[in-house]
Amino acid sequence: MINYNKLKKVRAIIFDLDGTLLTGTDFKLLKKELNLQDKVDVLQVINSYSNEDRERANRIIYEFELKARNQIKLQDNVEELLEFLENNNIPKAIHSRNSLENIRHFVDIRLSKPYTFHHLVGREIEPPKPNPSGSFDILRVFNESFSLQNQPIIKPEEILFVGDSIDDIHTSNNFGSISMLLLNDHNKHHSESADYSISNLIELIEILNLSLKNNNESDNNKIISNFSN
């Protein structure tokens, strides 16, 4: 039984990209091309390089990601999820360690129709995940939008962060949001570290739908209670 207490607070969602909205990329192949060990953080190591070595490594990463973005597929039911969020006016954004160019390629090219993302954050905003700087930048943009609509400002604890890696969970924790892990064959051992875990994106639609219904029922009960007094 899912505890909906935290989910009742959700007013917006931040998504990871690779492995979440898109199927996963085999970053082990990238690390081999860069002659790096499997466990190291690619971006962290590259930032320690000299300018010449960093430029060479960034070219390798760019070519790898360019090839990958034309091969990887949309995650199952991703457009159904985006449609649900738009129909229910739930704002959304992307915070990824991928480049902004590749995030825009997903939003502008890969999806079958335009969907509104309030903000897109790639590794260009430093430091990258699991540092929450990018998520705080998303929060700023969310609140600019909410302010224009005369809505109360949103807090990190009212944001659901959906990803597929321990870095996503750590980013969410560092940011102060609600973490949700999209399970796959490689990350199930991290499920207990997240606030919630799901097996597919349809589950997220169902969970959010139930949470919205619970909120509506709670609001209706308050109205009835007010009339009864």
What total of structural domains would you count in the chain?
Answer: 2
Task: Return the minimum-mean-pLDDT range out of 1-5, 207-211, 213-217, 224-228.
Answer: 224-228
Using DSSP's 3-state secondary structure scheme, residue 176 falls into: coil
Q: How confident is the model at residue 228 (pLDDT cuts 50, 70, 90)?
A: very low
Question: Are both 154 and 57 inside the same structural domain?
Answer: no
Put the strands of the sheet holding 119-121 in their side by side order.
119-121, 92-95, 12-15, 159-163, 178-182, 196-198
Question: Are both 87 and 109 inside the same structural domain?
Answer: yes
Spatial distance between the Cα atoms of 220 and 153, rounded to a whole number of angstroms = 24
Structure-block tokens of residue 197: 């875990």
Question: Are both 51 and 19 inside the same structural domain?
Answer: no
Residue 13 · residue 92 · CB < 8 Å:
yes
Q: How confident is the model at residue 218 (pLDDT cuts 50, 70, 90)?
A: low
Give the range of the structural domain holding residue 54, as residue numbers without chain letter.
27-69
The answer to whether position 3 is within a domain reads no
Question: Are both 81 and 184 inside the same structural domain?
Answer: yes
The enclosing domain of 129 has a CATH number of 3.40.50.1000
The answer to whether position 1 is within a domain reads no
Spatial distance between the Cα atoms of 125 and 114, rounded to a whole number of angstroms = 24
pLDDT tens digits along 99-138: 999 999 999 999 999 999 999 999 999 999 999 999 999 9
The answer to whether position 134 is within a domain reads yes
Residue 120 · residue 104 · CB < 8 Å:
yes
Q: Is the pLDDT of residue 28 over 70?
A: yes
The answer to whether position 146 is within a domain reads yes
Question: Are both 19 and 109 inside the same structural domain?
Answer: yes
pLDDT tens digits along 33-75: 888 887 888 888 888 888 898 889 888 888 888 888 888 899 9
